[in-house]
Copies of this chain bind each other. A is one copy, B any other.
Amino acid sequence: MGGRAAGGRRKRRRRGKGASAPPYVKRRIPFFPFADEEALVKLEDQADWLIQEVGLEFRDDEEALRIWREAGADVKGTRVKAPRGMIRELCSTAPPEFTQLARNSERSVRIGGTNQVFAPIYGAPFVRDLENGRRYGTIDNLIELVKLTYMLPSLHHGGLVICEPCDVPVSKRHLDMVYAHMRWSDKPHLGAITEMSRAEDSVAMARILHGEDVMAENCVIMANVNTNSPLLVDKVVTESIRVYSGANQGIIVVPFILGGAMGPVTTAACIAQALAEAMMCCAFTQLVRPGAPFILGNFLSSMSLKSGAPTFGMPEPVMSNFIIGQLARRLGVPLRCGGALTASKVADAQAAYESADSMLSTVLGGANFVLHAAGWMEGGLCTGYEKLILDADRLGGYQVLLSGMPTDDNAFARDAYEEVEPSGHFLGCAHTLRNYENAYYDAVMSDSENVESWEERGAKDAQTRAFERWRQMLQDYEAPPIDEAVDEALNDFIARRKRELPDAWY
């Protein structure tokens, strides 16, 4: 499924049935200068103004306020303001690029710069597939989704909560989720954030998997956490930062802003507010540990004018993907934004139109880390099995697009014109035979045959073909190898923590 991008450039090696493909995308095309210099400066000025004049609330975490006071910020009660320049100065120690090691070193990902990494949907309580319909996710669903993600070559990273395992107590869920990624895949993944102890458990499990020494020197786990827009940072964020950044591990902080609700109803204001919130959190990570890897997150949604429901794949968030990309590069930190987003309930044309516009702008905009790149439905409430497969097939195409157009002598094919006269055809010529195999991206989920062959094969739409594919993939799945002692240590850790933790459903 990786198509041309997967071919030739990199030594192929199969592990189990895991994907053999480049571990991430190395972009070779320029960035799109969607907003001009004047607009970008205005956006940055507004972010600085918000930080200096309005300030952000930092709540429920005295330690966070202490850190801000000590750094010289203007702290009154829980309101933190900082003079123009101070936050940018603090952000400057965050690395513009860093590597997250995977347990299989061939799958380690480079985050930042011109590198782009795709991960599946995160956080949906529901799952849907064509056979069983929509229902709450379970740990069995999560394990299946981890296995599919492992096998899909254009997903470079596992994320974490591909669906919520709602049948496991909330207090213990993080242990099973982190283990699922560690055991059934060998791609990099995220850790938990919902409580400080859960973050600490995730870091502890990563330490077991990767070893104390490796972890001291490298980012081996990251976490993704949302601010409470507008301009509120609660302890879920600051404690996660203290745990992950404190251990020199990566953290993504994401303002999720539904325009008109968690931010003003205009796109420029929402982008600037998101920048202000993310910059403050970036600065906070650098106060906790200078040089700790940070990813600037962004998630803007527009609104249905009929009902106020969030809408996805619409022109306002699409343009914000380009613009936040420009702003993140000016700030010099890696960016997470966008995804294959949709409000559709099923993997129909609406889902695909919205997801494609959202995701193509995400990749062209230069997002370095893309959560929700596959499987997202229903505004993030539901993980679609078929949608995961269909989205991932398009990701392979984006990978080719980002690699640009070859312009070497072979690409210009002058020998073909010596062989083929005007009005002739190139089907059998030497240049075609020499290049045919890797000429075009092979989208395995697209049916491009004529209507007669399509009907003969049952006139199956894309959703039906995707259903058949993921079922087959799960039958073909083989687990990647793991060191038995490490696996035992992980299971011991989980068993101990499960004994210590009471069952809780919140």
Q: Is the CB of B440 within 8 A of A311?
A: yes
| Residues on B with beta carbons closer than 8 Å to the beta carbon of A448 | 304, 307, 309-312, 343, 379
In the complex, which residue of chain B has the Cβ closest to the Cβ of A355?
B353
Q: How distant is A18 from chain B, measured CB to nearest CB, in Å?
A: 23
Q: Is the CB of A268 within 8 A of B361?
A: no
Nearest-neighbour CB distance to chain B for A132, whole angstroms, equals 15
In the assembled complex, A459 has its CB within 8 A of some CB on chain B: yes
A302 interface residue per 8 A CB criterion: yes
Report how far A352 CA is from B304 CA in the complex, Å.
21
B352/A439 in contact, CB under 8 A = no
Number of copies: 2
* B356–A436 CB distance below 8 A: no
In this assembly, does A261 line the interface, its C-beta being within 8 Å of a C-beta of chain B?
A: yes
Q: Does A263 contact B (CB under 8 A)?
A: yes
Give the residues in chain B near A437, CB-CB below 8 Å: 305
Q: A405-B267, A426-B230 are in contact. Are A447 and B259 (CB under 8 A)?
A: no
Q: In the assembly, what is the distance between CA of A32 and CA of B319, in Å?
A: 13
Contact with B along A357-385 (1 / 0, CB 8 A): 10011001000000000000011011000
Complex Cα gap A268–B426 (Å):
15
A-B contact pairs, 30 of them (CB 8 A): A32-B364, A39-B405, A56-B422, A259-B440, A260-B432, A264-B435, A265-B432, A266-B411, A266-B431, A267-B406, A268-B413, A269-B411, A304-B442, A304-B449, A305-B437, A314-B440, A316-B440, A343-B446, A348-B349, A348-B463, A349-B351, A349-B463, A349-B466, A350-B445, A350-B446, A350-B447, A351-B352, A352-B356, A356-B356, A381-B451
A448 to B50, CA, bound (A): 31
Minimum CB–CB distance for A346 against chain B, Å: 6
> From A425, which residue of chain B is reached at the shortest CB distance?
B261
User: Which residues of B have CB within 8 Å of A36?
Assistant: 30
Find the B residue at minimum CB distance from A420.
B230
A29 within 8 A of B: yes
- Given A352-B356, A442-B305, A406 and B260 contact (CB-CB distance below 8 Å): no
Q: Out of B32, B310, B315, which one reaches A32, CB within 8 Å?
A: B32
